[in-house]
Homo-oligomer: A and B are copies of this chain.
């Protein structure tokens, strides 16, 4: 029995409000239950030094939390002084989004996706990837409208969900009370029905290949639903 009363394969209510920010080229506010994340995509016509004259584009991500997004207040972090956890998350977001980008079609420019959690209740990195793709797509659409990009470099949504083993059962989309208690949890990122990234981790525990396959089934099903919401948001 899950604390929220959800079925094992039942996600929380997800809403995506596109064009949330006035200034960013692309943006949305994504809510997965009580987890709320502002995602913005900022286009920069300059790429980092190591990419210059490659003809290829670049997508990178940053992740932050307001100090009181959580139950107890946390210290602010900064670029260049982020915790290991924060860096790991933003590297994951960037890598996942790049998996869905045709970097030749994007052209030699950089898009930075900022994912700022304004309220947290578990699953923030997955919400950030799912919402981040929406922001990215809206920024790219604007570049296409203005003729700076000809071929769409973003064909399929990149969608992410957490799954884990809670109270001996495989469950999807863990909220904070489940996340705190799960012996095994993982993040699953898919695009077009295929895997992009799998991260499973069992602090002080172990898991079998059968359990792993059960989690993959849940993830495939959930990300298919997220994909529809992402496409609706950018339509």
Contacts and interface: CB of A to CB of B under 8 A. Distances in A.
Interface stretch (A10-18, A69-77, A144-152, A166-174): A69-77
Interface residues of A, number: 66
Given A68-B21, A99-B206, A91 B84 contact: yes
A114 B66 contact: yes
Given A64-B76, A68-B27, A114-B66, A195 B208 contact: yes
Contacts of A90: 84
A21 B119 contact: yes
Number of copies: 6
A202 B68 contact: no
A200 B208 contact: no
Interface in A208-235: 208-209, 212, 216
Interface of A: 21-24, 27, 34, 38, 40, 42, 44, 62, 64, 66-73, 75-82, 84-85, 87-88, 90-91, 95, 98-99, 101, 103, 112, 114, 116, 118-119, 121, 186, 191-192, 194-209, 212, 216
Top-4 shortest CB links A-B: A78-B78, A84-B87, A194-B206, A40-B68
